[in-house]
């Protein structure tokens, strides 16, 4: 984005879209670790050293189960779903805040039969996410609440 000449104002459009913001559905095939999710980068100004993104999942969709050194700050904007952070699964909804610390396994799932969208702030410079090994996934699945979450049958 040409930040020097761009207007400071970009209007919201229906359906959680914004003027001048590219809507990027994630490519997926049978082996993709995510499902029915899109990304829009709302703010990406080098002066801020962070990005603010809006992610949205269709009903039944989910983000990648991953961890990394960088942290996330998340606010749910639309819909209801479940979130795993570092061994804890919670039902979350609009305006809820979620802090995802370094190296915490995390995933968002649209478990309530509706579109589920959230803002996610992240450092502009960041490490690449890791996905769990078979052993790490088995260790996560040993927890009943996490197993139910991963099976899209959350306990609450």
Q: Is 19 helix (H, G, I), strand (E, B) or coil?
A: coil
Tokens of 107: 């995933």
Q: Is 83 a catalytic residue?
A: no
Residue 7 CB partners (closer than 8 Å, separation 6+): none
d(CA 14, CA 84): 29
**Catalytic residue (one of 120, 140, 146, 150):** 120
Round to the nearest angstrom and report the end-to-end CA distance of the chain. 42
d(CA 138, CA 97): 28
d(CA 131, CA 114): 26
Catalytic residues: 120
């Amino acid at each position: 984005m040409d930040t020097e000449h761009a207007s400071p104002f970009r209007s919201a459009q229906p359906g959680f879209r914004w003027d001048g913001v590219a809507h990027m559905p994630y490519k997926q095939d049978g082996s993709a670790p995510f499902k029915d999710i899109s990304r829009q980068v709302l703010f990406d100004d080098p002066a801020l050293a962070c990005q603010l993104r809006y992610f949205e999942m269709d009903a039944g969709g989910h983000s990648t189960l991953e961890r990394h050194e960088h942290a996330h700050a998340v606010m749910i904007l639309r819909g209801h779903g479940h979130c795993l952070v570092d061994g804890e699964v919670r039902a979350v909804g609009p305006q809820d805040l979620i802090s995802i610390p370094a190296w915490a396994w995390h995933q968002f799932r649209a478990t309530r039969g509706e579109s589920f969208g959230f803002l996610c702030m992240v450092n502009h410079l960041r490490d690449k996410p890791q996905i769990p090994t078979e052993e790490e996934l088995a260790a996560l699945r040993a927890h009943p609440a996490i197993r139910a979450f991963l099976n899209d049958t959350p306990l609450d």
